Structure 1
Amino acid sequence: MKIETRHIIKGVIFGITTAVGLASNIVIMLALSSIAYKEKKLMPSETILFTLTGANLLLLFSLGLPHSLFAFGVKYFYTDLDCKFDGHFLRSSRVMIIGLTCLLSCFQGVTLASSNPTWAVIKAKMQKYLSLLIAFIIILSTVSSLSSALYPIVSSNSTDLKHSIHLGYCISMYPNAFLFILIGMISFARDVFFVVLMAVASTYILLTLHRHRKQMKGKRSSEKRQENSAEEQAAKMVVTFVIIYVLLFGIENIIWFYQISGSDEGNAALTDTRFYLEFCFSTAFPFVLITFNKKVKCQLSCSLT
C-alpha cells in the first residue's frame, strides 16, 4: 500500500514527538521513584508531579502512539471495544493532566502565601488531604469522560461523517448535532474551569515573585543569589507549565470552535493539528521539570555517572 507524502510527514512529526515524550516521561518517573526510595517519601509537589507523569504516559499511549503508527498504515485496534477503551483512556488522561496541573499551580500558590496564617492552614489541609485531592481528580476524570466510550467504532459505512471525531484508526460517531455539540460544550466548560483556576493561581505566583524581586533590588549580589531558592524555582516551573498549557489549550479550542461552526469541519490538516496539540504538553513537561527541579536534575546526573 502506497503511503502519501502528507501521511509520512505527519507520521514522522507525531512519531518523534510521541517517542521523545514517552522516553522522557519514563525517565522522570524513574527519577522520582528513586528519590522516593532514597528519602522514604515524596514531597507533596513531587507526588503531584509523579501522578502527572503517569497521566502524560497514558495520553501518549492512547493518542500519540496509535496516531503515529496509523500514519504509516499500522493499526492495532480491531474491534469497537478496543476503540471505546482507547477513547475513554484518551479523554480521561487529558482531564487528569488539566486537573493535576491545576492542583499543582494552586498548591504552589498557597505555598507562597503560607506566611499568612489563613493560607498556612489551607496549605496544611492540602498536604494532609493531598491523596484524596488526587483521587478526586482521577475519579472525576474517569467518570466525566464516560461519554467518550459510548460512540467510538473501528469504521463506518456511512458517508456522512459530519458529527464525528475521526482519528483514522477509530471514529466517534455521534447520533446528531445536538449531542455532538452538547458533549463538547460540557467537556469544554469542565476544562475551562480548571484552566481559569490554574491561570489565576499562576498570576498570583507571578505577582508574588515580582514583589519579591523588587524587595531584593539594591541588595548585595550574595543576597540576591539566595533568591533562587527551591521554592521559587518550583514556582517558576509551575508558571511555565501553566503558560505552555494555556497556550496549547487556547489554540486547540480555537480550532475546535472553528470546525464545529461548520467553517471547515472536514479539514484533515486542522484536525491533525488539534490532536497534535493535545499531547504536546506531555512531551514538553519532562524538559521543563528537569530545567527547574534541581533534585530531579541531580538524580539524573547521579544516575548517568
Structure 2
Amino acid sequence: MGYSDVVVSVIFLSQTVVGVLGNSFLAYHYLMLYFVGCRLKFTDWILQHLIVANFLTLLCKGIPHTMSAFGLKVFLSDIGCKLIFYAHRIGRGVSISSTCFLSVFQAITISPNASRWTQLKVKSPSYIASCVYMSWVLSFVVNIAFPMYMTARQDNRNISRLRVYDFCSTVHLDKITDILSAIFLPIPDVVFMLLMLWSSGYMVCILYRHKQRMKHIHRSTFSFRSSAEFRATKTILLLVSTFVFFYTISCILQINMSLWHSPTSLWVNMASVVAAGFPTVSPFLVISN
C-alpha cells in the first residue's frame, strides 16, 4: 500500500470516527433528556431523524471506503453492495428532507403573528411530522431501483458493461436509461433544496427586518438576539448553508464521474469524503450552538 493510500485511509477513518462520535453524543444527549422527562422542542425531534440519517450515511460510506483505502477491494458480495448503497441513498434522502423541514418549520415559527402563516403555526407540527415520516417512505420508494444495478467488484468479470468503483460496480445499460435516471431521480432533492433555500431566505429577511426595528429600542430585555428563537434560527441557517455547500460540491463530483466509464480512485475518494462531510460536521454545529 502506497503513501497516498495510507493518507486516504486515514482521512476516511478519521472522518468516520469523528462523525460517529459527534452523532453519538447528540443521540446520548437526547436520550438523557428523554429519561429525565424534559420536554423537547419540535426542532429537536426533527434533529433526531437527522441523526439517524447521519449514521446511515457515515456507516455505509465511511467503513467500506476505509476498508477499500486500506487495500481490501473485494470484500462485499452482490447483496452486500446492494444493501450498502441502498442504505446510503436512504440516509442521504432523509438527510436533505430533515434539513429542509428544519428550515421550513423554523421559518413558520419565527414569522410575524400578522403574517399569512399565523394559522399554520398551530398546525405546522402535525403537518411536518407527517412529512418527516413520508420522507422516509419516499426515500425507500425512490431509491428502490438503485441497488438493482449494483454488483460486487470482481476482476474476472467482463467489465465492458460495468462502471467500476473502488469496491462495487454499477451495471451500465444504455444512454437513454442513464439520461432518464439523471432527470427523474434528483427531482425530490431539487424540490427539497428549493424549499430549503426559500425558507432560509425568508428567515434571513425576518431577522434583518427585526434587527432594523431593534435599533430604535434601547432596552436589552426586548432583544431578540438573546432569545431561544434566535439561537435556533442561527443554528438552522448554519446547518442549511453547510448542507448546501457540501451538496453542491457532491453534485458536481457525481456529474463528473457519471461522464466516465470507470472513474479514477481520486474522484471516487473525493466524492465519498464530500458526501460524508455534512453528517460529520452537522452534529458539532448543533452542539456548538
TM over 0.5: yes
Asked if residue 288 in structure 1 is aligned to residue 285 in structure 2, the reply is: yes
Secondary structure (helix, strand or coil) at the match of 2:117 reads: helix
Instruction: Using the TM superposition, give the Cα deviation of residue 143 of structure 1 relative to its aligned residue in structure 2, in angstroms.
Output: 0.9
Match of 1:298? none
Identity, % of aligned positions: 26
1:267 corresponds to which of 253, 264, 268 = 264
Instruction: Using the TM superposition, give the Cα deviation of residue 221 of structure 1 relative to its aligned residue in structure 2, in angstroms.
Output: 6.4
Q: Which amino acid aligns with 1:182?
A: L
TM-score by length of 2: 0.91
Q: Which moved more, 1:36-45 or 1:215-224?
A: 215-224
TM-score by length of 1: 0.87
Cα root mean square deviation, aligned: 2.2
Deviations 1:90-115 (A, max 9, x none): 11110000011001100000101151
Match of 2:107? 109
Match of 2:163? 164
Runs of 4+ that moved beyond 4 A: 74-77
Deviations 1:228-256 (A, max 9, x none): 21111111111111111111111121222
Instruction: Pick closer, same or farther for the CA change 1:111–1:91 going to 2, 3 Å.
Output: same
Distance, in Å, in 2 between the alignment partners of 1:209 and 1:104 is 17
Q: Which amino acid aligns with 2:60?
A: S
2:273 corresponds to which of 272, 276, 280 = 276
Contact persistence 2:99–2:240 (CA under 8 A): yes
Instruction: Pick closer, same or farther for the CA change 1:63–1:208 going to 2, 3 Å.
Output: same
Distance, in Å, in 2 between the alignment partners of 1:41 and 1:250 is 36
1:88 corresponds to which of 86, 94, 99 = 86
2:209 corresponds to which of 202, 211, 214 = 211
Instruction: Using the TM superposition, give the Cα deviation of residue 87 of structure 1 relative to its aligned residue in structure 2, in angstroms.
Output: 1.2
Instruction: Pick closer, same or farther for the CA change 1:76–1:49 going to 2, 3 Å.
Output: farther
Distance, in Å, in 1 between the alignment partners of 2:89 and 2:237 is 24
Secondary structure (helix, strand or coil) at the match of 1:160 reads: helix
Match of 2:150? 152
The count of corresponding residues between Structure 1 and Structure 2 is 287
Contact persistence 2:101–2:128 (CA under 8 A): no
Contact persistence 1:114–1:123 (CA under 8 A): no
- Unaligned segments of structure 2, at least 5 residues: none
- Unaligned segments of structure 1, at least 5 residues: 293-305
Distance, in Å, in 1 between the alignment partners of 2:217 and 2:112 is 24
2:68 corresponds to which of 64, 67, 70 = 70
Distance, in Å, in 2 between the alignment partners of 1:284 and 1:25 is 9
Deviations 1:17-73 (A, max 9, x none): 111000110110110121222235432111000111111011111111211122113
Q: Output aligned runs, 1:162-241, within 5 Å.
A: 164=163, 166=165, 168-220=166-218, 222-223=220-221, 226-241=224-239
Contact persistence 1:155–1:171 (CA under 8 A): yes
Instruction: Pick closer, same or farther for the CA change 1:268–1:73 going to 2, 3 Å.
Output: closer
Contact persistence 2:74–2:153 (CA under 8 A): no
Instruction: Using the TM superposition, give the Cα deviation of residue 6 of structure 1 relative to its aligned residue in structure 2, in angstroms.
Output: 1.9
Match of 2:42? 44
Contact persistence 2:225–2:231 (CA under 8 A): no
Contact persistence 1:77–1:83 (CA under 8 A): no
Instruction: Using the TM superposition, give the Cα deviation of residue 178 of structure 1 relative to its aligned residue in structure 2, in angstroms.
Output: 2.6
Distance, in Å, in 2 between the alignment partners of 1:169 and 1:282 is 22
